Amino acid sequence: MEILNKTETLEERLFYIKKTAEYKWDKYHLRDILKQDLFHHQSEMPNNFLATLPRRVQALKAIEMFKDEYLLDYINVEELGVRDESEIDEKVVENVIVQNVKNFIMTFGKDFAFVGNQYHLEKFGENHFVDLLFYNRELSCLVAVELKSGKFKPVYAGQLHNYLHILDDDVRKPNENPSIGIILCQDVNKPYVEYVVQQYDSPLGVATYKTSADIPEKLRNALPDIEQLKSLLATDEESLSNGER
């Protein structure tokens, strides 16, 4: 009755029925979710945020914040010196992102601060390295990003899940929320990924990325090239240093 009285479309009703069954919400929890209008604020990125983040408000913010696909338009395959896409691996993409970290943060979203790449974690003598580590001011948490070429594999979720546990145990500060993990890969089967990430108790999401070479030539030609982006960023940085807003 709560769902029928507070929704308008069949699609919306089915969404809340499925989520209620999946997460075992009681009517009071469901009322809060309906009030937050989750259906119209949901991301298409497969994730387990509602089941793993301790506060509903934070989970809804995270769902709204992360996109299901990111255009890394400053990564130009020709400039990388490779002959085709199959030669691009995670390390290449990571290095280009690090060189253009301001651009990446602008692509990824607001309130992100870059912490480091290949961020070293050590546990019981075992060494691990997070591809990219950020801090998000809005969510008050660390955000670990793993870059993967090709299609999503379940082992990626297990790897990132382990990193998040170590980050929470050894790096997270007492006033911060649980760390969130995002896997960026080139292809996902969304229903399958949604099924896989629900098995983990750490907040995980899986999104795809496209580079300039992946998008149609007409659109690619409309994008600024890397030198234009650098010029724009340099101008913006100079303005900020002069106290302009």
d(CA 58, CA 239): 33
Name the strand (E) or helix (H) holding 56: helix 56-65
Rg of the chain over Cα atoms, rounded to whole angstroms, equals: 20
- Residue 241 pLDDT > 80, yes or no? no
Compute the distance between CA of residue 51 and CA of residue 48 in angstroms, rounded to an integer: 6
137 and 174 both lie in a single domain: yes
Q: What pLDDT, on the 0 to 100 scale, is given for residue 244?
A: 46
Same-domain pairing of 124 and 8: no
Residue 57 lies in a domain: no
What tens digit of pLDDT does each residue of 128-137 get?
999 989 999 9
Distance in angstroms (rounded) separating the CA atoms of residues 185 and 245: 35
pLDDT at 105 over 90: no
pLDDT at 4 (0 to 100): 92
The number of folded domains in the chain is 2
| Statement to judge: residues 21 and 118 lie in one domain | no
Residue 130 lies in a domain: yes
A 10 A CB-CB count for 150 gives: 13
pTM: 0.68
In 1-96 the beta strands, taken as DSSP E runs, fall at 69-72
Domain assignment of residue 227, given as a range? 69-241
Give residue-wise pLDDT tens across range 53-68: 988 888 888 887 888 8
DSSP code, position 115: E
Q: What secondary structure does DSSP assign to 184-240, as a single string?
A: EESB--HHHHHHHHTT-SS-EEEEEEEEGGGS-HHHHHHS--HHHHHHHHHHHHHHH
Lowest mean pLDDT among 4-13, 155-164, 169-178: 4-13
